[in-house]
Amino acid sequence: MLAEVKELSYAIVLCDDMDRMKAFYRDLFSFPIELETETSLSFRAGAAVSLALRKRERHYDGRGAGPRSPGVQLAFRVAADEVSKCHEQLVEKGVTILDPPADQPRGHRTVYFADPEGNILEVYAEI
């Protein structure tokens, strides 16, 4: 066990088409940009959390997202009455909806959608 590790400070989404992914995330979220380079983009996604995009360049980065590759699901919390509003905004932007708003047995109301490279994103509220 890594007892010294006390928190998750950032998540990185590996990307094939950086320009397309940067545009998608910049247009979708109002998070302030912390740092941008040709091969990366980092947002302040909460008081102590960064969300970053990074171009696949390393030999261990693997292939792009999709149903046949290992993946990470990113979840973004909103107020309970905002899940449907977010769904409407996603539909208006032409974002691929994976599952429309629904109440889950774990006590969340969710909407699942995909970014341009097939990564799974979720907007949820505790209900």
pLDDT confidence bin for 82, thresholds 50/70/90: very high
Structure pTM? Answer: 0.87
pLDDT score at 126: 94
- The Cα-based distances of 44 to 67, 73, 74, 94 in angstroms read 28, 18, 14, 25
The mean pLDDT value for 17-38 works out to 96
What length does the chain have?
127
pLDDT score at 18: 95
**Can you say whether the dihedral through the CA atoms of 21, 27, 31, 33 is positive or negative?**
positive
Are the C-beta atoms of residues 43 and 35 closer than 8 Å to each other?
A: no
Domain covering 7-57 in this structure, CATH number? 3.30.720.120
The mean pLDDT value for 30-56 works out to 95
pLDDT confidence bin for 66, thresholds 50/70/90: low
The yes-or-no verdict on residue 13 having pLDDT over 90 is yes
pLDDT score at 77: 94
The fold adopted by the segment(s) 73-127 is 2,3-Dihydroxybiphenyl 1,2-Dioxygenase; domain 1 (3.10.180)
Are the C-beta atoms of residues 73 and 113 closer than 8 Å to each other?
A: no
Give the domain ranges of the chain. 7-57, 73-127
